[in-house]
Structure 1
Amino acid sequence: MPDRHNEPDWANQPTEVMPAIGRHRVDQTADQTGDKPPAAGGTPGGPDGAPQPVGNRWVSLAKRRWMIPTAALGVLLLAYLVDLAATRGDMPRGVQVSGVALGGLTQAAAQQTLIAELTPDLRRNVAIRAGQIGTSLAPASAGLRVDWASTIDAAAHQPLNPFTRLASLFGGTTELGVVTSADEARLGDALDGINTMVRREPTDGGVRFDGSTPTAVKPAPGIALDLPAAAAEIKRDWTTGLPVDLPTTSVEPAGHVTDAAVSRTLAEVAGPAVSAPVTVIGNGREASLSPAIIAIALSFAPDGAGGLKPVVDIPKLADAVRPELVTTEQPAKDASVSLIGATPVVTPSVDGHGINYEDTFTGLVEVLKRPVNRQISAVYAPQPAKLTTEQVNALGIKGSISTFSTGGFAADSGQNIKRAAETINGKILKPGETFSLNTATGPRDAPQGYVPAGIIEDGHPARGIGGGVSQLATTLYNAAYFAGMTDTGHQEHSYYISRYPAAREATVYEGAIDLKFRNDLTTGVLIQTAWTPADITVTFWGTKRYEVTSATSPRSSPVPPQTLNMPAGQPCTPSAGGQGFTATDTRTMRDLTTGETKTSTHTVHYKPSPAVVCAPAPSADPAPN
């Protein structure tokens, strides 16, 4: 029997170091074999007392301590890999897109489910709030759409985090939104339409006349849509089903006129200007400018340095004194061409002598500041004919080569059309010369005789100095078109105006939009304008080279108008609006000498003009009994 008194202390160690089942096997074996237990620091003793391995039993026990957790980890890893393989190509468990559960579906089935569930809602108009304006936006007309494939791609990524996958087994969800895109141009058009009702122009400090009484005008900021931010808000939130609030921004007055400048202008210029009449002395005749006329013809504009500068409307002053002074003038007469039967006949020009009103009223502002000695002398000068007999004879003007008329304008627009038409009447284009309407008319402002009139601004009625001149531009464009002129630059209205030919019209805006064409004929061209209170006609005279015809395509790609609801108390002009559409004009020119033809096409996309609904005025409260 082994000497038990020689057992080392390791056999009595606690069971958490050596499990009980392991210790029992060692003791049993030792009793059967008579081997000694391991000596301190060694393996079980041999015949010579040296440490000897006894079946490596103590090493096996140590290894088994790590086998159980390692096996468990292996099982979990295997389960994780099996789950990844089993769900590859499917939507992740628990994923939802805009509230639609897609987990476990194939990507194709998920896309079909998503389209079926969300399409009805996505076709509804989007409620829009902007300041005090309420309206709605049709997603299709604004170019808003859902990218279904990209939405599924974004939602289909299987999570690799094992804890996320474990949580999804017990009902965890992941909520995602749809991926959308927009046609930036169409969305911009829609926002432009909304901005027409939201925008309020800023007011610069100034001085105005109430009758003959000068009054200070306080500056006030304006408001407008913040267009980039508004576009971002719509693209982000249009699918939520909730109203989208569009941000606005303050618009500061451009002139930054100070209160001190307004007070100074009142005291030094505006007040004295209407304190007494001004006498205009002509050759043997006199005329008077009353305070009422002075108030009508005198205005003030920002000077760019925080102050105000006086602006004198010379044509209005000239109209006021001309009846008294006209007998002191001899007006010039331009050479003209008229048809007697089929023969063009040139009426010779006659030079004249008359008042140069620009020079006459140059020093008027200084005179208006005086309390006494308020008079000026008329300045006379030769007035040569604008179109001489020699010019007409040298240019081969044999007859009319084109003519075009438009009508249907208001009285104030008609005044501006007449003023602009007068500036281009008799204009001659030599071969190779380019005509510019903005250059020919010069500034179209109050000093040149232009008045506030109706304009179309962003699809709805508005007013502006020189309104109506676009009608002359359209008339002139068509006369040049049928005369065979070469178009070198024009722009159509953004919104269609029914009295003009679709895709064959033009607008102008001083300093920004012009009408230009070039005379590529071998002979000169004379532009003649004829104005009546009902219509404007432009005729081109020269030697006819081309027979010109026009064909307009049917209207396509209709875009419905947005509806703008104006709150009670806001300035509002109701409008039925109009569809946007696309049209193409084709011009065919046949050479009358050679018979050769050439064609050119021009396509125009018109924006939809918004429909404006004005809120009814609040009814008066009934009188108390």
Structure 2
Amino acid sequence: MQKTWFKISLGFIVGIFALTAVAYAVDIAISRDNVPRGATVGGVEIGGLPNAAAAEVLETQLGQIATQPVHIQTDLKDPTTAIFTPEAVGITPDWEATIAGAGEQSWNPFKRLAGFFRSYELPVVSLTDETLLHTSATDLATELSREPVDGTIRIAETGTVETTPAVTGITVVAADLEHEMGENWANPAGITVSATTVEPSINDAEVQKIATGPAAIAASGALKITGEKDITAILEPAEIGEILHFEPVAGQLQPKLDIDGLTERLKAQLAASETVKRNAQISGSGANRVVTPHSDGLVVDWPSTLEGIEDRIIGKESKEFKASYIEDPATFTTTDAKNASFDQVVGEFTTSGFSGPSGTNIALTANIVNGAIIAPGDIFSLNSYTGPRGKAQGFVESGVILNGHADTAVGGGISQFATTLYNAAYFAALEDITHRPHSYYISRYPAGREATVFEGAIDLAFRNTSAYPIQIISFVQGNSVTVRLMGVKTHNVESINGGRWAPTQPKTIELKDPKCSPSSGAPGFTTSDTRIIRTLSGAEVSRETTTTVYDPSPIVRCL
């Protein structure tokens, strides 16, 4: 009985092995050219399918994958993200190469059996435009990266302390991203690329340290400076914020105070507390000379007043204090005026060629200016000295040059007096503060050495740089005007003209105006003038060249 059971069991086992062997052989025969079981691509199962069928399935289900957006994110807690389309960056799938990458079905029966129960993802093999992919990866790496941003602090217009948080920088290496894009672009979960962080120089801790320290002190109250005459200058916190800044230095925020801006604001408020110096004045001449005494001034001593000002604004010192003052002595005293002599010509010039209304305006201006005294160091301004030059002051309408053609205006002709005065100051070796030449050359004036004026807009001003007072003597004789500067002569002046070059030709304009005056026009040109100042003994003191460009005067046709 036992032998019979043994034979039956043995036969059963042999039969099972025989059947398994037959099934294994049949499976090998059937799946020899198929994709290994369990293989998937982009989540699509192709395992067990013939290669051609697998390629067809992939094309059907994943054919549009290269046109679908792929999401990228960095491997950070707060990731940066970007999106790209594979086709746009030079990536397209190669299904045949992808399937070939699966290899052949294993001969190992256990592995063949496991293929029925588990799957694995095959990487998509791509056709790649290397140049386009490299460029695209570089651009996307820049998009995913960011520069670190320092935290900042300021006192706002509201007078309160405002801060901006620091931002940690992010760096994505383009080569790493390019590799991930090429290898994992078909991954349904997208791409995660490694990134490194870059800390800012000024972090939030440093910002808060300053915000609760110096900045808070600066914003805690107004700066008050009491001056003479019960005048007080006040800078509110908002104004302090305009001149106090916190700048990054070696990982720290350092306060920087704009002393010039601070002084400018305080000067405007404390100006009324100062006493302006007044130089002695001389009127009349000879036995009729009258001297108006000088008076010394009292002005704020800014270096002394602002000493230790940072400790008052951002430190422990009081924000309320008194201004310091120093005397500002007159530069031309009563004694100087009494002893002054105006018996030497230091500069003189004459121009001519005017008539009619222009002569009236020039003579009136010469009469106003005649006798003016310019103390040492003082500036003479023609517009300031004459004041308004309108009909109420006796000025009349006369010829002027407007846009290159003849016109009229009240006060016309005064530019000829300005040119005469400018040249007298030029040869007196005085300092040119401001002057403007005419836009168009006027032949009765020296080229490159003339000046125009316009009330409220264009002025002629110069400084008396000598140690002696100067008196202006100005008068009209016939159709000539002379300006003579009298005082103590200390220098000789030479003028050298540089010639004319770069000519420009005139254009034609047509005017339909009863006052139109036809003109044949004149070319424009560029010229230069060099002023050489020497001592009376001949030693050169200075040499300065001025270049002037004249526009061409248009050809005027009257309609």
Bucket of the pairwise TM-score, normalised by the shorter protein: 0.3 to 0.5
